[in-house]
Structure 1
Amino acid sequence: MELLRNIAQQPANSSNKTCEPNPQRSCEMQRKKTEDHSHAPAEMARIVTDPATGKCYCRGKVLGKGGFAKCYEMTDLSTSKVYAAKIIPHTRVSKPHQREKIDREIELHRVLHHKHIVHFYHHFEDKDNIYILLEYCSRRSLAHILKARKVLMEPEVRYYLRQIVSGLKYLHEQEILHRDLKLGNFFVSESMELKVGDFGLAAKLEPAGDRKKTICGTPNYLSPEVLNKQGHGCESDVWALGCVMYTMLLGRPPFETTNLKETYRCIREARFSLPSTLSSQARQLISSLLAKTPEDRPLLDHILRHDFFTQGFMPERLPASCCHSAPDFHVSSPAKSFFKKAAAALFGGRRDKVKYYDTLNKLTKEEEDIYKLRRDLKKTVITQQQTKQLTEDGRTPSPSAERAVAASTEGLPSTTRDTIRLIVRGSLGSCSSSSECLEDSTTGSVAETVASVLRGCLENMPKVDDIPKGTGCGNLQWVTKWVDYSNKYGFGYQLSDHIVGVLFNNGTHMSLLADKKTVHYYAELGQCSVFYTSDVPEQFVGQVTVLKYFAHYMEENLMDGGDLLSQADTHMPRLYLLQWLKSDRALMMLFNDGTFQVNFYHDHTKIILCTQKEEYMLTYINEERVSSTFRLSSLLSAGCPADLRQRMEYSLNMLLQRCN
């Protein structure tokens, strides 16, 4: 038996005899051997007996070390069940307060029962040690994983954080503070399930006035209020969660410095850096978790509703390979077979509703299936083509439009009249058909033209208190829904006429028309390939699958962003995305025909600048999702209130950031 062969592997200075295949006899032999060699250190005994039950356990390899104890593999010889045994020598807890600490840990931990908390099985002691038998997590801890990996990807961080929050929420509901949340105390099971463990510093939550003011925990993860001896609350665990998230994403704690005094200074000031390599959602969540004032940190219930989780992919499972290497998203043949069946059920033919939702859940959560999509995308990447910039469109306004401009600008300075003529004319230069996969100068020319128009309006527009009277919006196309999956695939969006588009990370673009049957594919400037979902070319199967996935996800999970409507056009889509940019306040989207949309996160207001009948129009969707559309020339003459002007100025700054 492999188990008994392992038992027989004694230290070099011990007997080389093989243990008998009878566990009870092995136990007796070891006890006799211990008596005959009483001079040997007690902690070296391989076989340990519970005096109360008579059960024998075999001590295995060291799993970890702590201040008072070491943790070993421990196997029940009667059942072969493996535990993680925390072994504390009596000599290490000889003082009353030390023993009280161990007793408190046992009393707190033994009553906890949650799938994301390390399970407490049993404890006993003999004349040498105290033994605490815990759930064995064969993948060790997140500290071991990060040591091998250096940094983790955002989907992995979502996966682990979701489980940490679940376990931590349970602890807080039991009025228990962990007080030592760190990577080394998050253990990973054989099935890659995370468990919160090590309750050596845990304590019951006390009323605000009676909270413990002892400074305890790991220095890099201490909160400002703990350092300032203001007491521990649930907010201190939330702070530590922010440190954990930061460390997983960047490979180092947020307040780590060359000396402890400086680290504590940074913690007290909540001073840390957030590199631009992180997504804006990750930066926002970390900033909220590491808020200096405890009351400003989010509640656990709110954390999983943050954009970091809702706007990004979160796998249901991770492959074991993630413990030692970055995911290559390789899936086995059975997973491929499953994915094909799931995709067929989701995207083709008639669907049973229950099976549909079951399949949809798998597609949105199952890690291996999503990884398969990414694998397909890698096979269909098209090399970025170098193309010549198109010549200017050369459109001219109609005579009636010119006369209207002349009448409305009479008496104004010549520079203002020129700006209004540019706004009315709507000349977009080379932007009539361009794509992100083209030379950057093409996209830049679109951005520069729109920025010039918007700047001209803002520089000459008077300040007023009331918003001018709006006009009809016509057949306006704008983005009603969007999903940022750029950490894997690209940026997806739905237009108001129900066309769904995806700007892939490889620079190509696909649109699924409102008929849900026709696909338009843009790989080169001005070149559009058209095919049908019933007959997808082999090289596009992966991308079409992702396109449909985006469409279904937005249809089932997202609500429209306002009240504007437009008629679906089943012919060539007029809009496809050239560029998108996210800041901590807003999302900017720039389209091929110069349509420019900015969505503001905090109040869900939106600005849409586009051309209709050779005239620039600006649509504003307010907090109540009610829209107003204005001729830009009217705004330039009549002005607009401060809140709209501020949004226009911010939009211009985002656009200028793209131009630069």
Structure 2
Amino acid sequence: MERGKRNLFRNNRIMREPPLIIKPPKKPDHEYKRRGLLGEGGFGRCYEVETKEGKILAVKVVDKASLRNPKNKDKLLSEIAIHKKLDHPHIVKFYDCCEDQSFVYLLMELCENKTLAYMNKKRQRLTEPEVRYFMLQLLNACEYMQSQYVIHRDLKLANLFLSKDMKIKIGDFGLAAQLECEGERKKTICGTPNYIAPEVLFDRTNGHSFEADIWSLGVIMYTLLFGRPPFQTDGEVDQIYRRIKELKYEFPSHITVSKEAKKLINLMLILEPEKRLTIQQILNHEFFSLGMTPTTIPVSALNIAPCFDVPQLNKPANYSISTRHPLKTLVSNNLNTAIAGQGKKLPAKKSIEPALKKHTVQSEDKNKHDNEKNSTASSSNKTEQKKRIIKLTAKKTDLKKPIVKSEDKIKKVDVKNSGPSSANQKPGSAESKSSVKPEEKAGKLNDATPHQDKLRTGVLEAILNTLEISFRTILDQENAKNIICNDITPTPNVFVNKWIDYSNKYGMGYQLTDSSVGVHFNDKTTLIMSPNGSNFEYIYNNRISSTSIIPTRKSYLVADCPKVLQKKMYLLRNFRNYMNETLSRRTHSYTFVDKDRTHNMEFLTKFKRTPHAMMFRLSNRIVQVNFFDHVKIVISEEGNVITYINEANELKTYTITNFLKISNSVEVNRLKYVKDVLKKLVDAAHKTKKSPEK
């Protein structure tokens, strides 16, 4: 038997496509609409499917032609039996299996954020807090599998799926083994070369058991921290096996990893299975007890590393984010109409530096007056503030919740307001009346609900808090000495690359750095097209009660665009063509084409025009400010990371602390300007709260 190959009958013939509408004959009340392809393996393909009720699932499709071999059929039945009985929060949920004349279908939970393999490829390597976060979940799931006498035998990054809230879900039980009794050993050689335990490869006499999964966990931990598997070579598979047999691996010296992490990896990668740590011993290891472990990880971590080098600002005693009122999108009527072919020129742009300096001086004078006024009240906190040291912490409160909720969680939907709307509503329609209010024309209030306030206002509030504490702290040399900066300063991957403001008629068009293109329409809906141009998502407000609206996301193929969205799709294509043909065609170091991204795409949630810049707020909690002289400031990780792009489109990323320390006065003044604009927006929200509508 050839080592390293899955004993799952890889066949050379081209796999047939399953039907677009899956209707199992034995379950006539069940129907599944096939959507996009999620992945392909040696034994089947995985697709995204939608039920008649609108629920999105994943389905593994196995061609019955591959089951003519009795051994193959037994393997599939074993996979179904094992996966079906497992019920754990960190294992992909198995819902049902069915068949038709040509295929067998395994219906499972959909994990929206792909896999750890995808994340590791995007990021190269993860931080130690993230590794603790994921490893604890893996260990918890493996402990459960052991209690069920199940060995997975193919634990690897590609089989570790990520849910919408970035939780680990172990999947693919095609090689899993069910032990009949304690002490039983299995002797089949199976697995993926880089992750196979030595006893699986070389000790068929004694066989293998749960310790094989522990070895794989050690390989996973190493790969997450260093970016590649420990036994990886550029040669043949036999060289990998030789390195495994000789336990030949090393820790790269150019990558900084704690000694506790290295010790734990060494204790899991031991040739003798009986000498490896047990799951409980791993959980008790100092790698977990001495380091910080996040309670949550944001979806943005798929592309950039979370950064925790700035302390959280103490909030006032009467502060309550849950009762905040939302902000209003303030849009200037002085718009660029070039897309309509009118050829009107925008007014000449004045230098913004004098205005920035003037704005900063006025702001500082006001702050000085406020500080004198409140000096008595703040004196008691001065000592405590001087002792404050920036701590690594993962507690981000509820500000890290996603902006858009999954549609299948929404109940009691008001049908009148839940569906797609056209770009131009009729004057008498309900949606037209609700989306264009007199207050909007006056630049007041907004379109969000109290539920959205907590999410949307919270982004600005969090960034403002970070900027304010950082500006104060950097001026205090005693505090500045205590600041701890991360080695990793992650540049955000997805932000606005091009934009065109045509909101006097349709909305704001934009292209993101991952090559996705979107339009934020005036009726508060969004279309976002995938970088490969084949998929798009429609985001709209779903009314679930008379006082509550939740943004909802629906995915489609461009070829299957619903009739009600075709006008918006036409406008989206026009915006895209205009930006591609008319705006700068230069490619920048920070732009790319994410061909794999077809759903859960980032999108513009708000925008605001100021006298000197256009401010954008994105669904990945980034706030971006594009000055009219082509300088851009991208603020990510809730203000902890500053990305500065100069007039020549040269990009540099800093922690907020380093930016304030090493940047020149002009650059710092720009950030002060951003801080003051945010301050006005947040203060306006407070004022709205105190003066409710009559």
Normalising by the residue count of structure 1, what TM-score does the alignment of the two structures yield?
0.46
Ranked by relative contact order (alpha carbons within 8 Å, sequence separation 6 or more), the top structure is 2
Q: Which has the larger radius of gyration?
A: 1
